[in-house]
Amino acid sequence: MSTVVKRSVSLPAPVFEELEQQAAAAGLTVSAALAEATEFWLTVRRGLRSVRAWERQHGAFTAEELAAADRQLDRSGVGLR
């Protein structure tokens, strides 16, 4: 079993209320939903850092490259919804 850390966090009431509802609908606890969201956020941040590093070395992506990447993400099921 992995170690867990208990902390207090503050969220705007409407955000927390929707989080509770959506977590329950997905069969998750609020803690599990927050852990899932945090993992996603961290993954996105790592990806953005990687993109910035690549662009520093190779130059900015062109509009065509970005469009191709967007299409590939959509085909992979990980595009923005």
Distance CA 48, CA 68 (A): 17
Long-range contacts of 9-17 (CB under 8 A, 24+ apart): 9/34
Split at pLDDT 50, 70, 90, the class of 81 is low
SS (H, E, C) 39-80: HHHHHHHHHHHHHHHHHHHHCCCCHHHHHHHHHHHHHHCCCC
pTM of the model: 0.74
Of the candidate ranges 2-6, 28-32, 34-38, the one whose mean pLDDT is the lowest: 2-6
